[in-house]
Structure 1
């Protein structure tokens, strides 16, 4: 779980660096370092409480900014139906154009990577376990899923209209929406939107840094010590926050590809954690050995076919199949339940 967060955190730091580069006379690399140190500071000071409070306000600002920008762009389109009708064939198609098994495997892998790969993540457990009771946790999770499917469409809507009104923006696709805001909206809109963007990035990065740091402190370091005090455990978690941040700064500066970093982070957790997590929840005969073997084989096969020997079939399929075989084989060898 810990290394699966490194790609996600690094992607957020790259986005922070690009945004600061757009706003300030600094390089992207300098922006990454500034953003990372800022996030690390308030994560160390506030922990989960700071993340919960800032998440709440940041997302309100973000939704307001995106909604306002979407309205401004929509008002610039004289005939929206004509704009939709003018798009290339298959532009709005939601399933593969070619009905081949390879295309469907690629399509399924794309859905699973984000959809299922995000489930066994500690930042989700953070919020669920921080809720007042199980009813609040369940309702909040369902509401968040609904927002994921609706509010997340706003950036797609903005980009869809923006690149057709201003085709030159395609040359700056890493910062398409921020560039659109800076060039074609009033100063008040720029402040609102870019403030919302920075707020969302800071909030997301803070929660992502705290997640692996908490696992490292609570689940790895704490069991190695003999009855440590809460202060000692907290100190280890804070040290872990610093170590995770430093590692992700290096990774972000070296890679600087948001799409690849996010995809690899979700695929990492999908192939190594999703199968043993669900087996532990729903399959009574699951054993520790089977779970461990599933994690190792799933990650090994995914890593081989993703980095060393890529193929037309997405690597997550090899990882999932290897993880399932490892789980079943391990359960047969070690029959003692977890």
Structure 2
């Protein structure tokens, strides 16, 4: 499931939401960086640690998984961890890729080590900051449950009061990884579930803006075919219809359902191609032919044990198995909401690829 991704959106613990767009006002103010220890780890005034998660929540719980990694390495109780999505920033590119995207079930695998190192560096810097204030060594102190402690003198400091000073002690590489597994391996309540269960989660199609208009598109049902002509004279005069646009074809109206009904009633002609003859039987036949092509580099041959070749015919079982061609569908209708001004473009979009969405909107990355 995708939650609507606004390029300036925010999360609340346990209930991912976008600020109510109808109340949102454009602002040029930038968020404070005072408590940013690393790109991924921000410590707010309450002492909670905001994890900037560089991945969209697709339903597997990967954002919660990253928070578990952070909590274990940084020495935090679970209730002091919150998550927030990243801004459009190269620092949050998928490790090993030049873009901000979520795909291939890579989130935990690719982020595990970088996040461990970032958390370990923050862990050491916070202890160093406290040790410097107390005039003791790093080794005499420990960080647990969100506090740096000096057991010998029973002194302790909340990481919230150490965050700003800790920045000067940060190093690119930590001295060591604790690699603790306190939360990892346990069943932890996921951040995204409560809002999805109680209906408070806001998806892309839920976004509403003042004086908003809606566009519904119509495209060829056959991949690769294009619009050649259309006749919209019967729908132009309908109530609420603002414009008919060739995109290849779209209707803009004051309400979505009016636009949707109108675009479906337009008389259209699409080009013809060989793709129109493709069906499940043809796809299955092409797959079978591909299996017989010994030049295919993707082919993998499984050799049966010798005992199978010598087994009596009556004990052998031979069967072909196949799966149908599956539609890689989104969890909600594809949609996007844009608010334009003379100097600003804001985008709300359910997407796995923030970089591509920004490029489509012609926003600098």
Q: Which structure is higher in RCO with an 8 Å CA cutoff and minimum separation 6?
A: 1
Q: Which structure features the higher share of strand residues? A: 2
TM-score (norm 2): 0.21
Q: Which structure features the higher share of helix residues? A: 1
